[in-house]
Each structure stands twice: as structure tokens, then as C-alpha cells.
Structure 1
Amino acid sequence: MEIRTVGTSALMIEVDDPLAWFAALDAERTAGRLDVTDIVPGAHTVLLDGVSSVTSLAATLRSWPPPSEVPAAADDLDIPVAFDGPDLGQVATLVGASEEAVVATLTSVAFRVAFGGFAPGFAYLSGLPWSVPRLDSPRPRVPAGSVALAAEFAGIYPTASPGGWQLVGRTDTVLFDIDRTPPALLTPGRTVRFVAA
């Protein structure tokens, strides 16, 4: 584990399994044994913000054993997807399979929300069995609800925005609603399955 100070009240830890560390740290915070405001997982890091003593917490973290596994999420979420994206054929070519086989694979995977980013409600879903390159040139506008692949992640655009991921389908599921608690539907650790609509 590598620990870096970020500003005056945050620590960034670089770890092998950020989602397991997020779950373990969040459990400690919930139990009142860890005094931090925010715990934010990333692809290879976890940020702890609102730390009262970064020196003390860094020393504590260095003595912790790494978490053994990511605990099972409390609830799975099925997301209906129409697999008619403009890049589905290109993805099939890239992975050496038919479009039908790509859809079958995507609907058989139990994705895990690894972390959020890019836009409110956007979640990076781990579990993709291939690494799919981004587009050479990003689209100026990707419609909200677009189901997309890039690198080792799947994701769903919560709002219309520019984007360079390969679009394989679409969903009407609302991913971010400021009046919902929490506003983001896809939170770290949650299991997500795509269901062909």
C-alpha cells in the first residue's frame, strides 16, 4: 500500500483491491471507528477526505491487514437494456465474436460497481471479460441511457454528454435523481446485471 497526503485533510491510498478497501473502510466509518467525511474509491486508489489527523490515520492504515474480499452487496439490480447500439458490431469484431455472443456475454456477467466518476451517476462497472478500446474520436453527444464499453469497464451515461466509449445498447433506467437517497442508483459494491429488453 502506498499512502499520499492530499492537501491538509485527505489521504490517498494506492491498493490492489480498491473496492474491498472501500467496503472495509466504510464499515469502520459506519461503526464509528474511522473519523472521515468521505471515502471515494477509484480504479487503483481510495481517497479518504475530511481527516482530522492525516499523520495518525496514515500510521493506522499502515498497520491494517488488507481486506480479504469485497462483501456481497445487499441488493442486486437488473437493468433492462435494448442491445442496439451503433458500436455493437464493432465490439463483436474487436472481441472475435458474433453480436449475439457479445449480448449473451453481457447479460451473463454479474457486474460490480467499482467506482463512480466522469458525471454524477456514472458508474464504472467491473467484470467485463474483454478489454475494449475507446473510439479514436469521441462523439460530441452521447444520449442519456447509452450502455457503453471501454477498457475493462462497462458503463451507462446518466445524461447526454460527449463520450468516447463504444455504445452497445440503451436503457431508460434513471441513474441519477437528486430527490433520491442516495441520488446515484449505482453505488460502489452494488451488483448489476443487464437484462435484454
Structure 2
Amino acid sequence: MMIDDPSVSLTTIESALRRLDREALLESLQGGLVADAVKATLDSIGLRSTPELEAMYGWRNGTAADSPASLDDIQLFPGFHLLSLEDAVTNYRAFVTDERWTPGWLPIFANGGGDFYVVDSSPTGAGAVRHFWIDEVQHPIEFLSLRAMLATLAAGFERGIFYVDPSGYLEMDDLVFGGLASELNPGVAYWRALT
């Protein structure tokens, strides 16, 4: 399966968010960063940058910390918002000594309750994306790369799996998304176990 360029996936996601009238989120997203700024910031915590991280943070540097919007309104996909690179580093420093955390896990998406999607930059992580649940012991790989995650999210928007419910919340059909993720990420055991 061919995974889209991260920039293509991010453009698709942004277009879908506009169609869904996610204006509070779009207004809260900060301008992007140049690749050298991403590299320098990650280097400050001993992590290596990747083209995927540079593309994502070049697109937008997460949501503004002073945004008046609620957590529900700034979700980039159901349940999670994009951390600014500064917030990612702050969360990394806060969790790096936690016994549930592995040094090298860079949190990029957060739910506001302590759960994250992390890019695994540890020596054995190979850039995979793990789901860190604060109350769980296991933190499975859900995507083999950030590129694969963004492509899956873009497809979720394109196929209407992500939608705004009558109360204005960004939602998804979990079973249908699991099927999509399994289809687009056939090498990931987490999704095979769900289907």
C-alpha cells in the first residue's frame, strides 16, 4: 500500500476540517515552524527529527496554549489535539522518568487527560506511533510511522468516518475506523486483533 506524503495528508485533513466547520480549531492552530527550528528543539531533548515531524510542524505548530476554545473544539481528530512542539517537549520532560514511559517517545497528540499518541524515536522504535494510555501498562504500536497515521486520518475524513454530531462534537464510528486502519496498516498487529 502506498502511504501519501505527509503534506498531502495534512492538506486533506485541513480541507475536511474546513468542510466540517471546525473554525475554533482552525483559528487555534499556530503557524508552522521551519525545519531547522524543529531539529534544534528536538535536539535540545536528545531526539532526532524526521521528515514527517518536520512536515507536520511545518504545517502547523499545534494549538495555541492561550486559545479560548475548549478541548472538544480543538480536536484534530476525535479525542485528540495536536500539541505544539513546545508542549510536546514539556510533556516529554514530564514523563521521561515515568516507569510507564520509554525515553525517545515524543508525544505529538494529546487528549488532555494524560493519554498521548507518541512517535517512538527510541533505538528500537523505528519511528512507529504508539498510543500511550496513562492508566494502562501496554502502549501498543498503532501505526508504523507518522506518515501512515496521517494518511489513515486523512482517509478517515475522506470516507466520512469522522463527522460532527448534532451537538457539535467531532466523533467517529470506532468499528468502521478500526476496519479502515486495518486495511491501510496491514502490518500492525493492534488493528488485526480488532478485526
Q: Give the TM-score, by structure 2 length.
A: 0.27
Flag the structure with larger Rg.
1
More helix by share: 2
Structure showing greater relative contact order (alpha-carbon pairs closer than 8 Å, 6 or more residues apart)? 1
> Which structure dedicates a bigger proportion of its chain to strand?
1
